[in-house]
Amino acid sequence: MSLGVCTIQLRFPENRSLKEKRRVLKSLITRVRNKYNVAIAEMGDQDLWQLAVIGVAYLSNDAQQVDQVLSKVAEFIRQSRLDIEVLDYNIEIMSFP
């Protein structure tokens, strides 16, 4: 069994308020959750209106599939919205017997 966790740092250069950031982020999180069947949530920089850190988790029997899915999620976020910049992302995979 393999568990993968991806943390993604985002920047919203055109946002002018927390309300606008949360609207954009909620839409993005819903789309990713529905498309890739992953657990996803905002986990950092919650009070900053132009930055966010989201966490994505995926569980599978195949570590390679975990890496592929999480990489696709990061690329989807990078390409799907022009008003969001992906500053950095990190994937960690843990295997359990």
Residue-level pLDDT at 75: 94
Query: What kind of fold does domain 2-95 have according to CATH?
Result: Alpha-Beta Plaits (3.30.70)
CA proximity to 21, closest of 67, 66, 81: 81
Rounded Cα–Cα distance for residues 9 and 67 (Å): 18
Q: What is the pTM of this model?
A: 0.87
Write the pLDDT tens digit of every residue in 22-54: 999 999 999 999 999 999 999 988 888 899 999
